[in-house]
Structure 1
């Protein structure tokens, strides 16, 4: 197995990304099938524009559609693809310039997901560790991450990267208002 790396989404890995979604994997933990359909449609319309949309540190892209169908302004952010020589998943960073605060509809600075056939190999833990210097580089002093209480694998990833439990919280209504756990990693 090769070392885990983070890649800026690029044409040479687009087929693997598409194949992962066609197998049922979603690049986001909260949007599921809607994200898969949106990404596959965007790739079919204009693959280069789709790839460009995944790197938007100036928040120039279109508004974001939340799971309840409402739309909100896009935050600065970018996606990296996780690789070990083949596609492993995606990790996302988003922020507001000049503050660590996030709007209530944003569940954390970082989100990640690994394809099912690569889980349990440490890719998420290593990817999060590789993303933290990038978060520091955009001016963040800490990152917040959220997970469901029963998601022990995600909690282990966060804790292995210096995350500290902050407490339980109620998700924004757009995400169903369910309870989640908030963690913070100081940078």
Structure 2
């Protein structure tokens, strides 16, 4: 897990093409990847450098009004971008309903290899270091892969609300 950097540009562009093929470029997609598919400045090396700087700056000041500050790490194998994980430093009312403290995406060609489970495990000590005692993660009720990732990391289902599952992972005993 590492902070975003420009050395993975080619692989990042390939990953975004995979996400685009998967979701069909739906501009209404409300995930971090969906937002980035619309804001495609990452396509060029110059734009990618600007994009990386803005993602890193989110830890101090969010890019959009109403967003929470968050730290983003990229999951890479060498210079191959595999996915991202975001740790939101707190919860807005919107994040309490959908999103939670942690969000993650794994590029389609890298799924089903344990990377998402490892990413969540790797970010939990960072949440604890920020003073967060329990993290909220949400996922679509039908997303069995995400449910397994969250549960493998100690997530306990609080409730299913509509099509969303709300899980909490208590950090006191997990991250010392």
Aligned residue number for residue 125 of structure 2? 133
TM-score by length of 2: 0.79
1:133, distance to aligned residue in structure 2 (A):
0.7
Structure 1 gap ranges (5+): 1-5, 64-71, 97-101, 171-178
Cα offsets for 1:84-141 (capped at 9, x unmatched)? 3322111111123xxxxx2232221001111111111000000110010111122211
Aligned residue number for residue 8 of structure 1? 3
1:14, distance to aligned residue in structure 2 (A):
2.0
Q: Kindly indicate whether structure 1 or structure 2 has the higher relative contact order, using CA contacts under 8 Å at least 6 residues apart.
A: 1
Aligned residue number for residue 19 of structure 1? 14
TM-score by length of 1: 0.75
Higher relative helix content? 2
**Partner Cα separation in structure 2 for residue 61 and residue 110 of structure 1:** 15
RMSD over equivalenced CA pairs, Å: 2.1
Q: Where does structure 1 differ by over 4 angstroms across 4 or more consecutive aligned residues?
A: none
Count of aligned pairs between the two proteins: 157
**Partner Cα separation in structure 1 for residue 112 and residue 35 of structure 2:** 26
Assess if the C-alpha contact under 8 Å between 1:43 and 1:50 holds in 2.
no
1:42, distance to aligned residue in structure 2 (A):
5.0
Assess if the C-alpha contact under 8 Å between 1:148 and 1:181 holds in 2.
yes
